[in-house]
Structure 1
């Protein structure tokens, strides 16, 4: 079978699809009703006063819409948006350059704000509170601080680890929104809206199938939708119905509970190789051929949330639910702590 050469524009097209799927206004933003209502009041009140809104901190796991909300804030205000991240700002001078380039009313979005360097963080305190930065010129006893006034702006910080933010930085945000995982009904609505934007015909049962396997995360739901679209297109299905969605997701190794190859590999190693644990994280990572950070930050949070794995001081332990999910008989002497209702 002859294969055509890969079109380099396909990667740009896929990225454009992701951008197209983002809601553009708060009214289009499905899920997170409490945060959406609170944020809407903050923005509307600021617009009535004709002032820049208070600084906004958005916290929660990856993929829940923090970047999208930052874009929506700028769009609702009719303001410019500047985007950077904590790891990209290693020196105070880097932050000073970004801040001095802002126009009045702009929104500055700093992703992973908990990873700012200490000098940049200390400069940010003054910028957030007094809209001013002090740039140090020279070194040693002859160094001089030159104050630079900044136009009023709104900082939107995003973090997946709110506990790592220093208290003085956290306290300077006027509004903090905690984003939670989405329920399947909200995810099904997001899949429906995204399918309409992509021009995909998909029935209600298929939308529900994708929603249930999306780990409570819109980013994953949209990614799975695109894979179902690909499967339906290649297999010649005009409509993605439930059987098409199931076949596509099985092909991509996403099971009915949302576990992927890595998740099942971790559980399988824990249950079959280590008799349910306890086993250390580094040993568990080696057994599945992955980095420690990949197992601890990608697989474990979901497995713990699903009640399939438990962290203890002695190591990781599988629950009875993990054995049942894998179709394995649990040990008869399993601790009662990890038992659950049959």
Structure 2
């Protein structure tokens, strides 16, 4: 039987992800270089009794950008104001947020590359001189009124750093590039989370979840929750067999591919002979939006070497053919070339 949920776990069911977030840099698992760099930055600012430089966190979803922003505020012992790029569609939206900040407050803007251009231009001055210009009136009688701001630290998060305009990117004093996690690091993430929710999980079970988490802590925590639910309902222990059964029920295979991943890979191999095939055609063949395939499915399939992108379209690799149990053509144009078999 699984263990009883801890008091902390029972209070966290409505905010599972939040309950598992580390509160300090010391508790944060992985990203060792980023943690050291960030720790030095915050420690130096504290000793100088000055607000830290603005921080840009770049990397794929689920690696801890939001968590690190919360840790920055906690380490500085300052409040945190959270918003997102899509929510700031006018300069006035940004002015309202900035004018409400208290001295030393940390402003976290998720998906900062999706801010409106007018707001980005206002942010340039705010980041450098802690002031903004507010336009009063309209037409020929309009005047610019400078508004002084309290010193603050901006923490921007982006999954697509290349979309940030150079003037904005250059105003960040520190840029951290978050990398995908190794299986050992993910095992530590799963072990820590299992302890926090009071779920007994074997070392082999931990390794199974870590190996199917696509290098992403958010996915590891999500799979852990599904395994916990499976064991609770079926009244089993968190051993390897139960973990495999739970993940099979939720269509997560031994490589971390889910139903949509396999559908895309199978369509590429079985319907289009391994490719090349265009993104829009591939998306239509599986009944999904092209943006979903490009941003959600494709990065993992490319990173694991199951497909590759070419100027002519997407192509299944030898590993991709093998994963769906199909034999590549005898003379193949797939990556690796030459004869097969």
Using the size of structure 1 for normalisation, the TM-score is 0.94
Q: Is the 8 A contact 2:315 2:334 kept in 1?
A: no
Q: Is the 8 A contact 2:57 2:178 kept in 1?
A: yes
2:72 aligned residue: 73
1:330 aligned residue: 328
Name the CA distance, whole Å, in 1 between partners of 2:248 and 2:13.
Answer: 22
Displacement of 1:13 in angstroms is: 5.4
2:140 aligned residue: 141
2:5 aligned residue: none
Name the CA distance, whole Å, in 2 between partners of 1:208 and 1:166.
Answer: 41
Q: Is the 8 A contact 1:133 1:148 kept in 2?
A: yes
Displacement of 1:339 in angstroms is: 4.8
Q: Is the 8 A contact 2:212 2:253 kept in 1?
A: yes
Query: Structure 1 stretches of 5 or more lacking a match?
Result: 1-11
List per-residue Cα deviations over 1:214-273 (Å, max 9, x = no partner): 000000000000000001001101x30111111100110000000000000000000011
Q: Is the 8 A contact 1:319 1:339 kept in 2?
A: no
Instruction: For 1:52-201, list aligned pairs within 5 A.
Output: 52-201=51-200
Instruction: For 1:1-342, list aligned pairs within 5 A.
Output: 14-237=13-236, 239-335=237-333, 337-339=335-337
Displacement of 1:337 in angstroms is: 3.3
Q: Is the 8 A contact 1:102 1:151 kept in 2?
A: yes
Name the CA distance, whole Å, in 2 between partners of 1:55 and 1:154.
Answer: 5
Name the CA distance, whole Å, in 1 between partners of 2:278 and 2:334.
Answer: 21
For residue 27 of structure 1, give the secondary structure of its aligned residue in structure 2.
coil
Displacement of 1:313 in angstroms is: 1.5
For residue 147 of structure 2, give the secondary structure of its aligned residue in structure 1.
strand
Aligned length: 330
2:7 aligned residue: none
Displacement of 1:14 in angstroms is: 4.0
* Divergent runs of 4+, >6 A: none
Q: Is the 8 A contact 1:320 1:339 kept in 2?
A: no
For residue 240 of structure 1, give the secondary structure of its aligned residue in structure 2.
coil
Name the CA distance, whole Å, in 1 between partners of 2:334 and 2:165.
Answer: 39
Name the CA distance, whole Å, in 2 between partners of 1:282 and 1:337.
Answer: 22
Name the CA distance, whole Å, in 1 between partners of 2:202 and 2:44.
Answer: 40
Name the CA distance, whole Å, in 2 between partners of 1:243 and 1:37.
Answer: 38
Name the CA distance, whole Å, in 2 between partners of 1:97 and 1:336.
Answer: 54
Using the size of structure 2 for normalisation, the TM-score is 0.95
For residue 42 of structure 1, give the secondary structure of its aligned residue in structure 2.
helix
| Greater relative contact order structure (CA < 8 Å, 6+ sep) | 2
Change (3 A) 1:313 1:336: closer
For residue 335 of structure 2, give the secondary structure of its aligned residue in structure 1.
helix
Q: Is the 8 A contact 1:210 1:245 kept in 2?
A: yes
Superposition CA RMSD, Å:
1.4
Q: Is the 8 A contact 2:318 2:334 kept in 1?
A: no
List per-residue Cα deviations over 1:269-294 (Å, max 9, x = no partner): 00011110111111111111111111
